[in-house]
C-alpha cells in the first residue's frame, strides 16, 4: 500500500462509515480495485482508520457523549451484543470474512433489497420516540442485536443500527444519531482489540499510512455526518438500497472473470489472475516423492500433519512468523490445512508479501486421509 492508496481508502471510509452502504464492503472492494493485497496490515488499516471517523462523532456530539449519563447507558447497552460476539468471533470475522469478495457482494445486494423493503414498511409506521433518552435498556439491547449482524462485510453497521432504531420506535433523525453514537464504543473496541492482537507490530512507514488514513477519515466523516442528517430528514433510504444493488451487480460482473479486475497505480485496467496454484492430494503425493519445496501446515488448532512437513504456522499469523519462511521470494512453498480454506487465505497472504511460487492443497488433510494417505497425529 502506498500513500495515495491510503488516502483514497481513508476518504472512502469517511464517506461510507455512517451511510447505510457498508464502509467495510467498500474498503474491501476498493482495495481490490486499487490492487492492494488483503494482508494482515491492510485488514488492520481498514479497522484502524475507523478511529478517524469516530473522532468526528466525538467532535460533533461530545456533549451527549460526556454529559448525558442516560444516553451513555443506552449506548453501552446497545454495544453489549456486538462487544461479546466480536470478542468471540474475532478470528473468523477477520480472516474468513474480511476480504471475502463473495460475502461482501452478496451482502451488499441482499442488504439493498432489505433497505428498500424495510423503508416501505417503516415509512408508514408511526414513530413514537424522538429522544434517545426515552429508549428503554431492553430496546437499546435490541438495537445492539441488529448491529451485531453487521460483522458480516457488506451488511453495513449504519444500516443495521438505523433500522434497529426504527424497529424499536425511534424517528428517522434520532435513529441516525443513535447509530452515530453507537459507533463510538463499537469502533473503539474493534480497533483497540485489533491493535492489541497485532501487538502494535507496525514499522514506521505503516504507522505513517495509519496516520494518513486516520486524518483523511476524520475530515471526510465530519462533512458526511452533517450532510446525511440533513438528507435523511427529507428523503428515504430507497436511494441507498438501489445504490447497493447496482454496486453489487457491477462488482459481480467485474469479479466474475477468472481473475479480479482492478486499477493499478498507473490507473490502467488489468486482470490479476490467481497468483497461487491449487493442487489435489494425488498431485501432492507425487510432489512429495521428490520433495523440492517448503511444506507448511497452517491449520489451527493443530490437528495432525502430513509427513515431511517443514513448519507449522497458523494461517492468521503468517506475517508474525515471517522468519520461519524462506528468504527467497521465488522459493516453492506448499500450504495445507484441514479443508483447504485456511491454506487459501495463507496463500493469498504470501502472494501479497511478494512470494511468487505458492501451491495450495485445495482439499486439505481431510481429502488426504480419504485417499488412504497417512496423517501424523503427533507433531515431530
Averaged pLDDT score across all residues of the chain: 83
Confidence class of residue 142 from pLDDT cuts 50, 70 and 90?
very high
Q: What is the mean pLDDT of residues 299-304?
A: 87
What b/e string do you get for 294-305 counting C-beta neighbours within 10 Å, with b at 16 or more? bbbbbbbeeebb
Facing residues of 269 across strands?
263
pLDDT of residue 69: 85
Highest-confidence range of 81-85, 96-100, 271-275, 366-370, by mean pLDDT? 81-85
pLDDT digits (tens, 9 = 90+) for 245-299: 998 998 888 766 544 444 333 333 333 445 788 898 989 999 999 999 999 999 9
% of residues, the chain, pLDDT over 70:
88
Confidence of residue 11 (pLDDT cuts 50, 70, 90): very high
**Domain boundaries defined on the chain:** 3-263, 276-370
Pick among 3.40.50.300, 3.10.110.10, 3.40.250.10, 3.40.50.720: CATH of 276-370: 3.40.250.10
Distance CA 226, CA 199 (A): 35
Q: What is the pTM of this model?
A: 0.61
Between CA 65 and CA 56 the distance in angstroms is 12
- The residue among 327, 318, 311 whose CA lies nearest residue 41 is 318
Check: CB of residue 255 under 8 Å from CB of residue 293.
no
Residue 345 has pLDDT above 50, yes or no: yes
Q: Where are the alpha helices (DSSP H) in 238-335?
A: 238-254, 281-289
Amino acid at each position: 500500500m502506498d500513500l495515495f492508496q491510503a488516502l483514497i481508502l481513508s476518504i472512502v471510509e469517511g464517506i461510507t462509515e455512517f451511510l447505510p452502504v457498508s464502509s467495510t464492503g467498500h474498503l474491501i472492494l476498493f482495495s481490490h480495485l486499487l490492487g492492494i493485497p488483503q494482508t494482515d496490515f491492510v485488514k488492520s488499516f481498514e479497522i484502524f482508520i475507523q478511529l478517524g471517523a469516530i473522532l468526528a462523532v466525538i467532535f460533533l456530539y461530545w456533549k451527549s457523549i460526556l454529559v448525558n449519563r442516560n444516553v451513555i447507558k443506552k449506548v453501552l447497552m446497545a454495544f453489549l451484543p456486538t462487544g461479546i460476539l466480536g470478542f468471540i468471533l474475532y478470528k473468523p470475522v477477520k480472516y474468513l470474512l474480511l476480504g471475502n469478495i463473495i460475502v461482501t457482494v452478496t451482502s451488499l445486494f441482499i442488504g439493498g433489497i432489505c433497505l428498500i423493503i424495510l423503508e416501505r414498511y417503516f415509512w408508514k409506521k408511526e414513530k413514537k420516540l424522538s429522544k434517545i433518552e426515552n429508549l428503554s435498556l431492553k430496546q437499546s439491547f435490541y438495537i445492539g442485536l441488529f448491529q451485531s449482524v453487521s460483522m458480516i462485510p457488506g451488511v453495513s453497521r449504519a444500516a443495521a443500527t438505523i433500522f434497529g432504531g426504527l424497529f424499536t420506535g425511534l424517528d428517522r433523525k434520532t435513529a441516525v444519531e443513535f447509530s452515530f453514537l453507537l459507533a463510538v464504543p463499537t469502533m473503539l473496541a474493534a480497533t483497540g482489540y485489533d491493535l492489541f492482537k497485532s501487538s502494535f507490530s507496525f514499522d514506521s512507514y505503516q504507522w505513517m499510512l495509519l496516520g494518513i488514513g486516520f486524518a483523511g477519515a476524520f475530515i471526510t466523516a465530519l462533512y458526511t455526518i452533517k450532510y446525511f442528517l440533513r438528507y435523511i430528514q427529507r428523503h428515504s433510504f430507497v436511494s441507498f438500497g438501489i445504490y447497493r444493488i447496482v454496486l453489487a451487480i457491477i462488482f459481480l460482473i467485474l469479479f466474475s472473470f477468472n481473475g479480479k479486475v482492478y486499477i493499478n497505480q498507473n490507473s490502467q485496467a488489468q486482470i490479476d489472475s490467481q497468483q497461487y496454484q491449487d493442487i489435489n492430494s494425488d498431485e501432492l503425493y507425487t510432489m512429495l516423492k521428490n520433495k523440492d519445496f517448503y511444506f507448511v501446515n497452517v491449520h489451527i488448532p493443530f490437528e495432525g500433519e502430513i509427513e515431511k512437513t517443514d513448519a507449522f504456522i497458523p494461517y492468521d499469523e503468517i506475517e508474525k512468523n515471517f522468519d520461519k519462511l524462506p528468504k527467497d521470494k521465488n522459493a516453492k512453498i506448499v500450504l495445507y490445512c484441514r479443508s483447504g480454506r485456511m491454506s487459501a487465505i495463507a496463500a493469498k497472504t504470501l502472494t501479497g508479501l511478494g512470494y511468487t511460487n505458492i501451491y495450495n492443497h485445495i482439499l486439505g488433510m481431510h481429502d488426504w486421509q480419504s485417499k488412504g494417505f497417512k496423517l501424523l497425529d503427533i507433531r515431530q
